[in-house]
Chains A and B, each alone.
Chain A
Amino acid sequence: MIDKALWEFSRIDDLYERFHPYSPYGKRLKKRCPVYYEVKELDHEHRLMELFLSYLTDPVKTVKLDQLKARLTRIMLIPTVTEQILDLAEIFLIKRFVVNSWGIYGELKDSFATFFDFNTFPYELMELLALGQGQTESFTLTGDYDGRLTGVRAEIDALLNEEQTLVRDYYAVCEKTLDLDFSSRDFLIVPDALYGRLSQHMHLVNIEIYDESHLLVRPVWSQKLIVLRRKIYELRAEESSFEKDVLRRISEQIATAGGELQRLCEILGRLDCALAKAELAVKYGMTRPKIADELTVRQGRLLSLEQECGENGREYTPLNVSLSDKGALLYGSNMGGKTVVMRTIAFLQLLTQCGFFVPAGGFVTRIYRSLQFVGANERRSFKGLSSFGCEVWEMQEKWAQGEFPRFFVIDEFAATTNAREATALSNALLYELHREPGTYYLMATHYVDKRHEVKDLKIWHMQGIDHHKLQSLRDAFDAASTLTEKVRLLTSCMVYRINEESSLVKDEEALMIAQLLGFNPNILARAKSYLEN
Chain B
Amino acid sequence: MIDLSSLQGQTTFITGSGKNVGKTTLLCHLLKKMRSFGPVLVGSIGVDGEKQDAITGQLKPAIELASGDWVMTTLGAVQQSAGFFEVCAVLPHVTAMGPIVVARALRATKIELIGPETNRQLADAVSCFKREQGAVTVLIDGAVNRLTQVAEIPGCGYIEVVQIGPQNYRKVLNYLVGLDYFAGCAQWRENSPLKVQRITGALTLQRLQLIPDDVEAIIVDDFTKVFVVPRQIHPKKLFFMRPLTPHAIVVNPRSIDVAKLRQDIAAENIKLAIEISPYWLEAV
Please determine whether B90 and A93 come into contact, CB atoms closer than 8 angstroms.
Answer: yes
With A139-B87, A157-B107, A211-B255 in contact, do A189 and B82 touch (Cβ < 8 Å)?
A: no
Please determine whether B99 and A89 come into contact, CB atoms closer than 8 angstroms.
Answer: yes
Q: Which of B73-113 contact A (CB under 8 A)?
A: 75, 78-79, 82, 84-90, 92, 99, 101, 104, 106-108
Please determine whether A185 and B29 come into contact, CB atoms closer than 8 angstroms.
Answer: yes
* Chain B: CB-nearest residue to A240: B79
* Chain B: CB-nearest residue to A141: B84
Most chain B beta-carbon contacts within 10 A, residue among A87, A133, A187, A189: A189
Give complex CA distance A160, B64 in Å.
13
Give complex CA distance A140, B104 in Å.
10
Please determine whether B32 and A138 come into contact, CB atoms closer than 8 angstroms.
Answer: no
Q: Mark B11-25, 1 if CB is under 8 A from A, else 0.
A: 000000000000001
With A139-B87, A186-B61 in contact, do A160 and B28 touch (Cβ < 8 Å)?
A: no
**A179 close to chain B: CB less than 8 A:** yes
Tally of contacts, chain A with chain B, CB under 8 A = 87
Q: Which of A89, A156, A186, A218 makes the CB contact (< 8 A) with B101?
A: A89
Please determine whether A184 and B32 come into contact, CB atoms closer than 8 angstroms.
Answer: yes
**A88 close to chain B: CB less than 8 A:** yes
Please determine whether A179 and B107 come into contact, CB atoms closer than 8 angstroms.
Answer: no
- CB neighbours (8 Å) of A156 from chain B are 84, 107
Give complex CA distance A141, B255 in Å.
50
- CB neighbours (8 Å) of A180 from chain B are 281, 284
* Chain A: CB-nearest residue to B104: A138
**B56 close to chain A: CB less than 8 A:** yes
**A259 close to chain B: CB less than 8 A:** no
Please determine whether A92 and B107 come into contact, CB atoms closer than 8 angstroms.
Answer: no
Most chain A beta-carbon contacts within 10 A, residue among B85, B86, B254, B278: B86
Please determine whether B79 and A138 come into contact, CB atoms closer than 8 angstroms.
Answer: no
Please determine whether B28 and A186 come into contact, CB atoms closer than 8 angstroms.
Answer: yes
* Chain A: CB-nearest residue to B255: A211
With A160-B108, A185-B278, A211-B255 in contact, do A88 and B284 touch (Cβ < 8 Å)?
A: no
Closest-CB distance, A526 to chain B (whole angstroms): 52
**B33 close to chain A: CB less than 8 A:** yes
Closest-CB distance, B128 to chain A (whole angstroms): 11
**A248 close to chain B: CB less than 8 A:** no
With A185-B278, A186-B61, A187-B279 in contact, do A89 and B284 touch (Cβ < 8 Å)?
A: no
- CB neighbours (8 Å) of A76 from chain B are 90, 92
**B213 close to chain A: CB less than 8 A:** no
With A156-B107, A210-B254, A216-B56 in contact, do A87 and B82 touch (Cβ < 8 Å)?
A: no
Q: Which of B55, B56, B85, B279 makes the CB contact (< 8 A) with A140?
A: B85
A-B contact pairs, 6 of them (CB 8 A): A88-B85, A138-B87, A138-B88, A160-B108, A186-B25, A187-B279
Interface residues of A (CB under 8 A from B): 76, 87-89, 92-93, 133, 137-141, 153, 156-157, 160, 164, 179-180, 183-191, 194, 210-212, 216, 218, 232-233, 236, 239
